[in-house]
Chain A
Amino acid sequence: GAVVSQHPSRVICKSGTSVKIECRSLDFQATTMFWYRQFPKKSLMLMATSNEGSKATYEQGVEKDKFLINHASLTLSTLTVTSAHPEDSSFYICSARYYAGPVYNEQFFGPGTRLTVL
């Protein structure tokens, strides 16, 4: 099946530093990837839609200068949290849309990255 990896799985950083999270589709090409944020015991909140070769589409209320998204290839999208602050601490999950499968618009999720900003 379609596999999505995410790296790192866990990161702890100091306030003011930037953190890059990678999302890779391992065995399929993903022209579209999505970035979500999930607070403890809460639902997934879509942050942005990442399309290969074009600018990401951000959801309302998500600062594009704060959360930089780059989708440079068909198998890799990156999310950079710039000048991270404690309120940015969260579980970040990416997903990739799998076009070749039998289910339209099925998304495969990465294992997530837990970010803790001290």
Chain B
Amino acid sequence: GQQVMQIPQYQHVQEGEDFTTYCNSSTTLSNIQWYKQRPGGHPVFLIQLVKSGEVKKQKRLTFQFGEAKKNSSLHITATQTTDVGTYFCAASIQGAQKLVFGQGTRLTINP
């Protein structure tokens, strides 16, 4: 069954509004990665979080890894039309080399 749950499935915002997507797992994660897939494109790696409670920032994007390493979030401040796409979290479980992907959150933006 699905080991990584991601919500929401869809999010529509006005340009300039903030956006957050969440990933949760019942299993402790070795690490979590975030990918962005533009419409018609392929997933592109954004970042990896490894440490408990880790927070990383990339310009307007803030990534967090929960203290228990069972959840993560991606927050975008003041969205722009270039942020449109589907954001996936992907987790490495029990140190396995394969990644388990969340369902993705599809972000659309009203300019």
Contacts and interface: CB of A to CB of B under 8 A. Distances in A.
Contact of A109 (B44, B102, B106): B44
Nearest to B45: A106
Contact of B33 (A32, A41, A106): A106
Contacts of A107: 33, 45, 99
Contact of A104 (B35, B48, B98, B100): B48
- B interface residue count range (under 10 / 10 to 19 / 20 to 34 / 35 or more): 20 to 34
Contacts of B98: 34, 46, 49
B92 A43 contact: no
A45 to B, nearest CB: 8
Contacts of B50: 104
Contacts of B97: 32, 49, 97, 105
Contacts of B88: 43-44
Interface residues of A, number: 22
B20 interface: no
Interface in A10-63: 32, 34, 41-46, 49
Given A44-B88, A104-B31, A110 B42 contact: yes
Given A105-B31, A107-B33, A108-B45, 16 more contacts: A32-B97, A41-B106, A43-B88, A43-B102, A43-B103, A49-B98, A93-B43, A103-B48, A104-B31, A104-B50, A105-B48, A105-B99, A106-B33, A109-B35, A109-B45, A110-B42
23 contacts: A32-B97, A34-B99, A41-B106, A43-B88, A43-B101, A43-B104, A46-B98, A46-B99, A93-B42, A103-B48, A104-B31, A104-B50, A105-B48, A105-B97, A105-B99, A106-B33, A106-B45, A107-B33, A108-B45, A109-B35, A109-B44, A111-B42, A112-B42
Rank and list the top 4 A-B pairs by shortest CB-CB distance, nearest first. Answer: A109-B42, A44-B101, A43-B103, A103-B48
